[in-house]
Amino acid sequence: MTVATAIVRPFTQAVGKLSAVHRLAPWLLVYLLLLPLPYVLSGLFNDYYVYLANRICIFILLTVGLNIVKGFCGQVTIGHVGLYAIGAVSSALVSLHLGAPFWVSFPIGVLVAGVAGIIVGLPSVRLEGAYLALATLGLGESVRIMIAVTPLFGSSTGLIGIPTPEIGGFVFDSFERYYYLLITATMIGIYLSFSILRSATGRAFMAIREDTIAASVHGINVPQYKLLAFVISALYAGAAGALFAHMPPGYIHHNNFTIIEMVTLLLMVVLGGIGHIWGGVIGAIIVTIIYDQTLEFYFYQPLLFGLSMVILVMFMPRGIGGVIDRYFVTRRFIGAREGKTDGAP
């Protein structure tokens, strides 16, 4: 080792650590700000809004996952809710029948959903667009039907009394307490999706979405990356499902995993802006609130959501994220253009 590296190494390592702090600081700040939310909500309104915040967290996790496969990789899937169900049921079963604690059943639920994600993703190697949508719809629905007809999976009564998580004597047995778990998982989930998508992997996903042939000619193993996108999104769905299953009162039913849930999810992604992480998060928040506020018209909800989707696709195809991007991109350009005007033909 030369003198230079002996001196420089610790320095660059320190810089590396510093930049990690720098990178994580805003996330930690937001996390800390969001932690007391249940007390604000129950103080200002009532407990129902805490429950709503919990639902929002679960839907954010689902949307972030769906956005990876649909928004970034461009694979139309209607099987996401099926993976959510698989995560929920497997984690519930492991803890109900094997008596495993949440910290064991949760990763198992996530992994089982991940494996199922390979199966849901396999058709994407051959099929595209509407055909792929149909294939994944079939897989997702068959999961729900399987749950509905199998006593072990809850059939018509659903699974009851799924234990709530506990850590060092602290039991997450109320909506307020469960919220800590959910907001932690959600923040980690969003952060990780940024890590994945702002890397060569994320760029490969986008390239596949833009042009499959060009992507493969530029060295991207298209089938492998498509499957990877499906698996990652399935891991998110599995995590959301497991978290949902153990949420007080610890009850899941096949009605939680219908095609209507799937339409709602798609609407979140489309409203948020396909392929835009924050847009998807905002979409999840808005749609969950609208969904809950219009519950009394539940009969018309599918119609309302379906129509909104059509209108969005037609008039605002890039959703909220598109609006955000447009704002920033335009600003950057005006700057760049004013700097230099010469260039290529």
Partner 1 sequence: MALLETTKLSKSFGGLRAVSDLDIAIEPGTIHGLIGPNGSGKSTFFNLVTGVYQSDPGSRIVFDGTEITNMPSHEVGALGIARTFQLLRLFSDMTVLQNLMVGYHTHVSYSILTAIFDRGAVQRYDARTTEEMMDLLEFIGLADYAEMPASELSGGQRRLLALGRAMAMRPKLLMLDEPAAGLSPVNVEHFLAIVMKLKEKFGLTILIVEHILKVVMETCDTVTVLDYGEKIGEGTPNEVKDDHAVIEAYLGQEMDDDEVRAILRT
Q: Footprint of partner 1 on this chain (CB under 8 A)?
A: 16, 19-20, 23, 192, 195-196, 198-201, 203-204, 206-207, 209-211, 213-222, 228, 275, 329, 332-333, 336-337, 339-340, 343-345
DSSP notation for 172-213? --SHHHHHHHHHHHHHHHHHHHHHHHTSHHHHHHHHHHH-HH
Q: Are 194 and 277 in contact (CB under 8 A)?
A: yes
State how far the alpha carbon of 194 is from the alpha carbons of 6, 280, 337, in Å. 34, 12, 29
208 versus 243: smaller Cβ distance to partner 1: 208
Phi-psi region for residue 75, left (φ > 0), alpha (ψ -120 to 50) or beta? beta
> Closest separation between CB of residue 277 and partner 1, Å?
14
DSSP 71: I
67 versus 256: smaller Cβ distance to partner 1: 67
> Closest separation between CB of residue 23 and partner 1, Å?
7
13 versus 46: smaller Cβ distance to partner 1: 13
Helix, coil or strand: residue 167: strand
Query: Of how many residues is the chain composed?
Result: 345
> Closest separation between CB of residue 126 and partner 1, Å?
15
> Closest separation between CB of residue 203 and partner 1, Å?
5
199 versus 293: smaller Cβ distance to partner 1: 199
> Closest separation between CB of residue 72 and partner 1, Å?
11
> Closest separation between CB of residue 95 and partner 1, Å?
26
174 versus 326: smaller Cβ distance to partner 1: 326
- Alpha carbon distance, N-terminus to C-terminus of the chain: 50
> Closest separation between CB of residue 253 and partner 1, Å?
33
Is the previous residue joined to 345 through a cis bond, with omega within 30 degrees of 0?
no
Q: Are 88 and 162 in contact (CB under 8 A)?
A: no
State how far the alpha carbon of 239 is from the alpha carbons of 243, 246, 281, in Å. 6, 11, 16
Helix, coil or strand: residue 187: helix
174 versus 195: smaller Cβ distance to partner 1: 195
275 versus 279: smaller Cβ distance to partner 1: 275
Copy the structure tokens of residue 84: 């959510």
40 versus 214: smaller Cβ distance to partner 1: 214
**How far apart (Å, rounded) are the C-alpha atoms in residues 237 and 282?**
18
Copy the structure tokens of residue 57: 């967290």
> Closest separation between CB of residue 12 and partner 1, Å?
10
